[in-house]
A and B are shown apart, each in its own frame.
Chain A
Amino acid sequence: MDGTVRNGAEIIIDALIDQDVEVIFGYPGGAVLPIYDALFKQNRIRHILVRHEQAAVHAAEGYARSTGKVGVVLVTSGPGATNTVTGLTDALMDSIPIVCLTGQVATHLIGNDAFQEADTIGITRPCTKHNWLVRDATTLARTLHEAFYVARTGRPGPVVVDLPKDILVRPAPYVAADAVVHKSYRPRMAPDPAAIEAAVDLLAKAERPVIYGGGGLINAGPRASALLNELVELTGFPCTLTLMGLGALPASHPRFLGMLGMHGTVEANHAMHDCDVMLALGARFDDRVTGRLDAFSPGSRKIHVDIDPSQINKNVLIDISIVGDAALALEAIIAEWKRRGIASRRTALQPWLLKIEEWRGLRCLTYAQGPKIIKPQHAIRRLAELTRKRDVYITTEVGQHQMWAAQHFPFEGPNRWMTSGGLGTMGYGLPAAMGVQIAHPDALVIDIAGEASIMMNIQEMATLIQYRLPVKVFILNNQYMGMVRQWQELMFGGRYSQSYSEALPDFVKLAEAFGGVGLRAQTVDELDGVIGEMLAVDRPVIVDVAVDPTENCYPMIPSGAAHNEMLLGPGDIPTGNGSSDDGSERGMVLV
């Protein structure tokens, strides 16, 4: 940048600075040593040394999802690159912007089975939004800027730039970010006004409307959430959110129906099933949301807003499709609604809202907390209550604890909830929490975990200690891979094949071995005290909460059942296509 000839590695640093990158998550190795050398010689970009490359990607995801910025990963060739595959796939499924820089053997060695060589481009092609192999130093800067542009625009996603070692040491020219225009990639942002008008035509006449919001609302930035609030206020429509959309409408909002889908609330799922007009915003009609497709919301006209045209009509036929950014679409719908001066729909909606209150009255998330054994739902509710006044960010692993967190922890705003939705990656929560804490050093960051999931990336405790990141790991320890156990109980005749967590470590001692603080709660009486202690410590903490091992997560729509065929509690026996008390083939196939 100062006129002297800079090599590829230094050009990479220049490009990252140009892209406003403050932090990268990585792990060094032979092929990327020149980049690590260039990192050593500068102080603009902070490098966080993870303990496994998968965790680098999840940390970058946590960073990205809690800030709206692009997360950056740097790993070496071969195993460094292959270890990122799970993280990249996770980011692809949940539309998280990630730029992953992978080392590669020198160009003349590519294809020779060289040491630590892998076909990174081939391996990551299906798990990235796009990827590039830089074969020529002159294209390096341009490629990096394109990578950031592709990762963050349109439907965000992960990208990989594969960097052969010789490119890193060769002199390379620099091109500034603003000088790079992509040849073909132009995502559509602004919605079609005619489609907006048609949508408002439908919405204005709806008698049983429901808004179904997803992760696209979070990706469209905090403004989309504010606009969703405005639309709900303006129309009085009830609103449900997907797992990825939680926080887009405050959980305390009277029109919020809770999460929908397989473990969604009765009111949300019944409203989806019985509505006459559905407004889907940045949601993709995932199978965990729709249940049995041919029974999904059979009587409704459907409006679908999505920035990715391939999501429209993918699983469910749509009546009005609106391709564009969720915030821009919401803005246009609100403007059109106001322009028409649509009168209050309060009276017209009254029967529908009463019906919804009736469903809400079933209080489907109720659980029976006894005097001694801690119910997992209760642990989460106490955690939420005792952290209510703090700026709190929650990450999770995957399984029952994740669903209970989604059901029982109230999110009042966007970007506070980081979970692996699409891929369902056990081991996501701890590294993601790490990334969140890096982005928000003063915030309270809690990984709600299970005792099985946490073992999948437990090594990151060392990273937390190294960078003094006071992440709190809140383990709901039921001694089982709880969701697996639950399915085995309900669909495989109670044959608990390989789902018992045998030979668990002592989590208190484990925390201490890493240099953190370990706490344990075994009875209801101890719970609040232990949570208080956890919050008082300004260091990494693992809290081992012993919870009821037999508790199941309800409501539950068995796979292959319809929204109105929910199981509400232990008394309910699965019916419909998803059921099989003796493990019939159909039930087993529908996972």
Chain B
Amino acid sequence: MSETIETHTLSVLVDNEPGVLARVIGLFSGRGYNIESLTVAEVERRDSLSRITLVTSGTPMVIQQIKAQLSRLVPVHSVRDLTEEGPFVGRELALVKVASAGGQRLESLRVAEIFRARPVDTTVGSFVFELTGSVEKIDAFVALMVPLGLVAVSRTGCAAMSRGPDPL
């Protein structure tokens, strides 16, 4: 079995009940698995279901274990490995605060335009940009903002879905 580290995006449908997130996180910390990002929100009010999108990394054997261990949790309905199952869309939202003046301030606006980031808060000395896109795009934007007065970043983690008409 290959020892190469792979990154996988998993989509986990769970009962929206107290403690379900603690169970998932406890599983990862207890067994020493990595979490690169995790997002969770209720997606079906009627059946009270939440979807957890999780980006994790490990050897193929560890990834297989992670999926089996997640499936074993009692409130888990399904575990889908989007990375393995074919092309998927992964998007993240970020809020990026920049404080600067003069040329730097103008430059940050120009870069934001190129990245299609919107200012959602403005003061005379600062912007808060809202940006969605792939994880890599947000990384690139944040890197460009560093010399332009970056103050703070808030990111949601990756939400993901398979391409094509099938559910997830």
Among candidates A121, A308, A313, A317, residue contacting B72 with C-beta atoms closer than 8 Å: A308
Q: Which of A126-134, A248-256, A452-460 contacts B (4 or more CB under 8 A)?
A: A126-134
> Chain A residues with Cβ under 8 A from B76's Cβ?
184
Task: Tell me if A388 counts as interface (CB < 8 A to partner B).
Answer: no
B86 at interface by CB-CB < 8 Å = no
Say if the beta carbon of B22 comes within 8 Å of chain A.
Answer: yes
**In whole Å, how far is B50's beta carbon from the nearest beta carbon of chain A?**
12
Q: Which residue of B lies closest to A309 (CB)?
A: B68
B68 touches A129 (CB 8 A): no
B65 beta carbon closer than 8 Å to chain A: yes
> Do residues A125 and B26 form an inter-chain contact, with CB atoms below 8 A?
yes
List 16 A-B residue pairs with CB atoms under 8 Å apart, sorted by A's residue number. A125-B22, A125-B23, A126-B30, A130-B73, A130-B74, A130-B75, A150-B74, A182-B74, A183-B15, A184-B74, A185-B74, A309-B68, A309-B71, A310-B71, A312-B68, A317-B61
Per-residue CB contact flags for chain B residues 52-65 toward chain A (1 = under 8 Å, else 0) read 00000000010011
Chain B residues within 8 Å of A317, by CB: 1, 61
CB neighbours (8 Å) of B68 from chain A are 309-310, 312, 314
A361 at the interface (CB under 8 A from B): no
Name the A residues within 8 Å of B30 (CB-CB): 126
Q: Is B37 an interface residue (CB 8 A)?
A: no
12 new A-B contacts at CB < 8 Å, known A121-B19, A125-B22: A125-B23, A125-B26, A126-B26, A129-B74, A130-B75, A133-B19, A183-B15, A183-B75, A184-B77, A308-B72, A310-B65, A310-B72
CB distance from A124 to the nearest CB of B (A): 11
Task: Name the residue of chain B whose CB is nearest to the CB of A129.
Answer: B74
Pick the most buried of B1, B64, B71, B74: most chain A CB atoms within 10 A of its CB.
Answer: B74
Q: How many A-B residue pairs have CB under 8 A?
A: 43
For the residues of A in contact with B, the DSSP-based class is loop
Contacts of A308 in B (CB 8 A): 72
Q: Which residues of A contact B72 (CB under 8 A)?
A: 308-310
Chain A residues with Cβ under 8 A from B77's Cβ? 183-184
Q: Hey, what's the 0/1 contact readout for B11-23 against A, CB within 8 Å counting as 1?
A: 0000100110011
Q: How far is the CA of A40 from the CA of B18 in the complex (A)?
A: 33
Closest Cβ of chain B to A9, distance in Å, is: 23
Count residues on chain B whose CB falls below 8 Å from chain A CBs.
Answer: 20
Q: What is the interface of chain A, defined by CB distance below 8 A to chain B?
A: 121-122, 125-126, 129-130, 133, 135, 150, 182-185, 308-310, 312-314, 317
Any chain A CB within 8 A of the CB of B69? yes
Partner of B75, one of A121, A133, A184, A309: A184
> Least Cβ distance of B88 to chain A in Å?
23
A184 touches B15 (CB 8 A): yes
In the complex, chain B residues whose CB is within 8 Å of the CB of A135: 18
A129 to B65, CA, bound (A): 17
Q: How far is the CA of A309 from the CA of B74 in the complex (A)?
A: 14
CB distance from A157 to the nearest CB of B (A): 10
Contact call A310/B69, Cβ cutoff below 8 A:
yes
Give complex CA distance A312, B72 in Å: 13
A126 to B18, CA, bound (A): 15
What is the bound-complex CA distance between A150 and B19, given in angstroms?
17
Chain A residues within 8 Å of B22, by CB: 122, 125
Check B19 against A314 for contact (C-beta < 8 Å): no
